Structure 1
Amino acid sequence: MVKSIFKWIGLSLLSVIVLGGAFASHEWYAEKPFMLRSFLDRTVLQQAFESPETLTSLGFLESIGITGHNAELDDDRPEKTDALFAEMKKVKETLLTYDDSDLDESQLLSKEIAMYLLDILLVSEPYRYHNYPVNQLFGIQNGYPSFMDAQHQVNSVGDAENYIARLNKVKVKFSQNLEGLKLREEKGILPPRFVIDRVLEEMTAFVAKPAEENILYSSLKAKLSDAEDISPAEQTRLLNLAKEEIIASVHPAYQLLIDYFNQVADKSTTDDGIWKLPDGDKVYAQALKFFTTTDYSAGEIHNIGLHEVDRIQLDILTILEKENYDVSQGFTAAIETLAAQDEFYYPDTKAGREQILTDYQTILDEINAGLESAFRIRPKASMKVRRIPEFKEKTAPGAYYQQPSIDGSRPGMFFANLYDIKATPKYSMRTLAYHEGIPGHHFQIAIAMELEGMPLFRRISPFTAYTEGWALYTERLAWDLGFQDDPFDNIGRLQAELFRAVRLVVDTGIHHKRWTRQEAIDYMVANTGMAHSDVVSEIERYIVMPGQATSYKIGLMKILELRKKAKASLGDKFDLRDFHDVVLKNGAVPLDILTRLVDQYIADKSSK
């Protein structure tokens, strides 16, 4: 959790240069800048410039000719995290010196959100090693090649040489991460055995391929081919250098982790919940508070999930019965009958997978052209659909979104997992596209990045209940607006909501009620109708990311509750565009603050 907060703080940074907001000398160097926003922006910028990978991801310095950071990798030594905690304590002390009476409404909100983030970060300091930074879902072993592939742009020889420099430095980065793994081992924090088996399988396969088949080589080759001003001779030279570094630097870096996990495998256990770690129950309670931005206990969340599972399953059975399906044997049998029909799947071929990507883009283009009645504000950034890289799709989620660069040179990306063709039937595609793309994550994240007049950290804040709640809300919104009028598309929507309700049950089941991995898999298979391969990936995700999966449904329920309240209070004065303006134009916020903002909107609208 700590690392994710720092990552988001770092990612929220910079656009101050792009937006022309140069700091006065006093505001940059003063112990306490005169303006609160200057202090908050400076704090974020200082963290950003400590992270060359963040600077590459945001992609704004390149437009003014600064590229040296693209030859560097982040310093991942454990001491860097210690230093960040110390720095954040100083930031909190300074933030408290800004008197509320001197701040306007917007500034007060920024201060409140900043304090919320700092408090939840600092209270987690004693448990900063209670995680598994190398796991089957994310970690340096797949994050590094994904970063190089998706975010390191190559438009010149210098860009390619920076790319190769990063290949050369990867062993240092892996060694630093290994230090952190050994610290965790000393504290009795080892991942479950299945996690070790998964990452060993992944890394062993990664180094077993010839260098020319490695994604780090093939990605550079494709980028060089697309570059306009790099001669064939230069391309050959650069690719030869890359091959040498993959063999001399990248493979040995991976071998460090392979050797380590082989060494500790027998020390690991098959206990999966975070309860098995020292103070695991306290850590899970903190995770739930961070991810849901509520004070709901694990028991309350579990019971909400059970109630919602029953409700949504009944809605699905009602539709199936109207479509002449036999529902007499219950939900599992009925949904398995639906899922077994070949008409709902694409051919399990290269052409079939290419058609899926094409159809996703068509779905997104269609809804993007039909949202005038629901939205005034739209992101300027475009969005593209891509396949999740094949080397990691076996253990990756069904889809994910990657934010655009802040200068607009890289669009937002909707990555779809095409590993198991049966994992996403045709009737589920609309819902997935709306969630990850338009008007889901792409609208919310890109709009927040483009907001003017508020501190940088609020443009990409780590409030998962808001961000994922919004994305899940847009699945329902698309149905409300008529984009899923086919009854089977509506079943796809309901299955997606059911999936998030089941998450409430299994996440708390694993980490609070001490369910085994298999018990959680069995419950999810029986209550969702999802492909078994997807269920296994999902349950294993919840094990290494305690609490995160509960944020979706909790956020959705709050946003729907607030929309219902606004409609009931305002009657004919209610305008869906106004409601979405309130939700989107303040950036991501905790759910209690969102409630206050909507209440204020209702009061203001009622008085007119």
Structure 2
Amino acid sequence: MIKTVFKRLGIGVLSLAVVAGGFAAHEWHADKPVMLRAFLDRTLIKMALDSPETLTSLGVLESLGINGHNAELDDDSPEKGERMLKELLEAREVLLSYDDASLSDDERLSKDVALYLLNFMEQSKQFRYHNYPVNQLFGIQNGYPSFMQAKHPVTSVEDAEHYLSRLKKVERKFQQNLRGLKLREQLGIIPPRFVIDRVLEEMTAFVATPVTENILYTSLDERLSALDSLDPKEKQRLLAVADASIRDYVHPAYQLFIDYFVALKPKAGSDHGFWHLPNGDKAYQASLQLFTSTDYSADEIHQLGLAEVDRIQAQMLTILAGQGIDTDAGFTAAIATLAADSRFYFEDSEAGRQQILAEYRRILDEINAGLGGAFTIRPQAGMEVVRIPEFKEKTSPGAYYEPPSLDGARPGRFFANLYDIRATPKYSMRTLAYHEGIPGHHFQIAVAMELEGLPFFRRMSPFTAYVEGWALYAEQVAWELGFQQDPLDNLGRLQAELFRAVRLVVDTGIHAKRWSRERGIDYMQANTGMATSDVVAEIERYIVMPGQATSYKVGMMKILALREKAKDALGEQFELAAFHDAVLKNGALPLSILEQVVDDYITTTQGLAKAG
């Protein structure tokens, strides 16, 4: 679980090592820098400098002619993780030594946010191995090729040589991960059998794919072909080395994992919730705290979900009845009638899939041009819509967002899953585009990354309830602003919100109330009307990411409650754009600290009104 926090920080741990050059020597080397921001930035810069893959993802050093890190891979050993935890807990003690009275308001907020993270690490360190690092959704087995395809730059022969270097070093990285898996096995933390089946299927297919069709080969081939000045013989040399490296280094690395999971499978069971692990109930409560940034119990979240499911279904039935659909047989039957209508799907072909991507782009262009006075802060980074790579789309979620690079070279990306065409009804597309793109994840994450004057960690803060709560809130804002005037588009929005409410029920059901995987599937299928392929993928996601799915609805409801609080307090002085500025201009925050920020915005606005 602790590693989850590390990974979320590591996505962009920092905006750049270049800032290190701006630190005075004392601030860089002192046990306690004079400036709090210097200490916070230095801590994360040092972490970034120790992570070649983070430096590549940030994509800033390359503009300075520094790119040696692109030939290296991260140290993923358990020992490295323990050292990182030790260093961060030591940083917590230094942070506590800064006197609040000597800090500005912004500095106190930064200290509070940093302490929230570090205190959680201290309190939950006993659960740092309560996770399944290799599963059907994520892990080195699909993260490595995705990283090489999407993040590793290939704009020169030198970049390509670095790419080849990373191919040759991957076996060591797999060996380091394998040691972590064996440590968890010794602690009794073994994934359910279906997880092992999924990853074995994925890795076996990866190794069985002809080398020249492997994404690690084709990605390099495509990008070398785009280099106009590259000599054809040089290209063939590089591709020949890639071919040999995939055979000699990549395939053996995957075989290490295949052999391990084949041997592990007989030890795995069919209990799917965290409750069955050692100290599993406490580990799950810690996970709920991590992802919701609240102290809500599993039972409180479960009951909240049941109530929200009833409320949202009632609204959906009203819309369905208004569309002439028979609702007498109940919610599930009514949704099934709608889902069976072929009018709401694109053609199940490559042309149809390209039409889906084009429609997403049209929807996003439309809302980006029409947000008007609802937002003052807007991201400068661009955004593109792309298909989830086919090699992993079968077990991937319906969509996800990938942030832009800090230098602007790589835009934000909305990845759409096109595996099952019936998982993308036309009436749900607007809502999904608003969630992943504008004004959802792209607005919030890209804006946060571009904020000036904040410590870098606050531009990349890993508070899921805020980040996902904002994206779900953005779906409702788009509807309120008139972008879903078709009742069926609004039905799609409500179905997406219902989906998040159901998550509250099934996540807590599986991990705290001892539901089976099958019971979770049955409940979600009966109460959402989603495509079966999506339901199975979602339930299996919750099993390997306990608590994460509860963050969306908890965060959304908190942001909506804070908006109502601001409206009630400010009356005619309330402006939606100003409220959005208050929520967005500080980066992601724990929900309790977000409430303090909104309270300050209310007080400040009231003061200005009185002064005026």
Please report the TM-score for the alignment, with normalisation by the length of structure 2. 0.98
For residues 237-248 of structure 1, the aligned pairs below 5 Å read: 237-248=237-248
For residues 31-430 of structure 1, the aligned pairs below 5 Å read: 31-430=31-430
User: What is the distance in 1 between the residues matched to 2:263 and 2:518?
Assistant: 26
- Size of the aligned set, in residue pairs, is 608
Q: Any conservation in 1 of the 2:14–2:457 contact (CA below 8 Å)?
A: no
User: What is the distance in 2 between the residues matched to 1:358 and 1:600?
Assistant: 42
Which digits, 9 at most, give the CA deviation of each residue in 1:229-287, with x for residues without a partner?
32222111111110000000000000000000000101100000011110000000000
- For structure 1, list consecutive stretches of 5 or more residues without a partner in the other structure: none
Q: 1:20 to 1:40 in 2, by over 3 A?
A: closer
Q: Any conservation in 1 of the 2:335–2:529 contact (CA below 8 Å)?
A: yes
User: What is the distance in 1 between the residues matched to 2:342 and 2:572?
Assistant: 46
Which digits, 9 at most, give the CA deviation of each residue in 1:173-217, with x for residues without a partner?
001100011111111111000000000000000000110010000
SS of 1:346's equivalent?
coil
- AA matched with 2:416: A
Report the counterpart of residue 554 of structure 1 in structure 2.
554
Q: Any conservation in 2 of the 1:303–1:505 contact (CA below 8 Å)?
A: yes
Q: Any conservation in 2 of the 1:353–1:418 contact (CA below 8 Å)?
A: yes
Q: How far did 1:19 drift?
A: 6.7
- AA matched with 2:281: D
Q: How far did 1:602 drift?
A: 1.3
1:601 aligns with 2:601: yes
User: What is the distance in 2 between the residues matched to 1:19 and 1:72?
Assistant: 22
Q: Any conservation in 1 of the 2:12–2:54 contact (CA below 8 Å)?
A: no
Q: How far did 1:393 drift?
A: 0.2
Which digits, 9 at most, give the CA deviation of each residue in 1:302-353, with x for residues without a partner?
0000000000000000011111110000000000000000000000000000
SS of 1:124's equivalent?
helix
Report the counterpart of residue 469 of structure 1 in structure 2.
469
User: What is the distance in 1 between the residues matched to 2:142 and 2:77?
Assistant: 19
- AA matched with 2:83: A
- AA matched with 1:289: Q
Q: Any conservation in 1 of the 2:171–2:250 contact (CA below 8 Å)?
A: yes
Report the counterpart of residue 513 of structure 2 in structure 1.
513
Q: Any conservation in 2 of the 1:211–1:217 contact (CA below 8 Å)?
A: yes
Q: How far did 1:10 drift?
A: 2.8
Between stretches 112-121 and 568-577, larger displacement belongs to 568-577
User: What is the distance in 2 between the residues matched to 1:83 and 1:248?
Assistant: 31
Q: How far did 1:13 drift?
A: 3.4
Q: Any conservation in 1 of the 2:16–2:60 contact (CA below 8 Å)?
A: no
User: What is the distance in 1 between the residues matched to 2:576 and 2:95?
Assistant: 36
Which digits, 9 at most, give the CA deviation of each residue in 1:281-304, with x for residues without a partner?
000000001110111100000000
What is the RMSD of the two structures over their aligned residues, measured on CA atoms? 1.0
- AA matched with 2:262: N
Which digits, 9 at most, give the CA deviation of each residue in 1:461-507, with x for residues without a partner?
01000000000000000000000000000000000000000000000
Q: Any conservation in 2 of the 1:12–1:461 contact (CA below 8 Å)?
A: no
User: What is the distance in 1 between the residues matched to 2:200 and 2:181?
Assistant: 15
- For structure 2, list consecutive stretches of 5 or more residues without a partner in the other structure: none
Q: Any conservation in 2 of the 1:473–1:559 contact (CA below 8 Å)?
A: yes
Report the counterpart of residue 484 of structure 2 in structure 1.
484
Q: 1:541 to 1:362 in 2, by over 3 A?
A: same
Q: How far did 1:18 drift?
A: 5.8
- AA matched with 2:249: S
SS of 1:295's equivalent?
coil
Query: Kindly, what percent of the aligned residue pairs are identical?
Result: 66
Between stretches 444-453 and 4-13, larger displacement belongs to 4-13
- AA matched with 2:186: E
Q: How far did 1:155 drift?
A: 0.3
User: What is the distance in 1 between the residues matched to 2:589 and 2:553?
Assistant: 16
SS of 2:386's equivalent?
strand
User: What is the distance in 2 between the residues matched to 1:202 and 1:121?
Assistant: 32
Which digits, 9 at most, give the CA deviation of each residue in 1:107-166, with x for residues without a partner?
001001101000111222111111100000000000000000000010000000000100
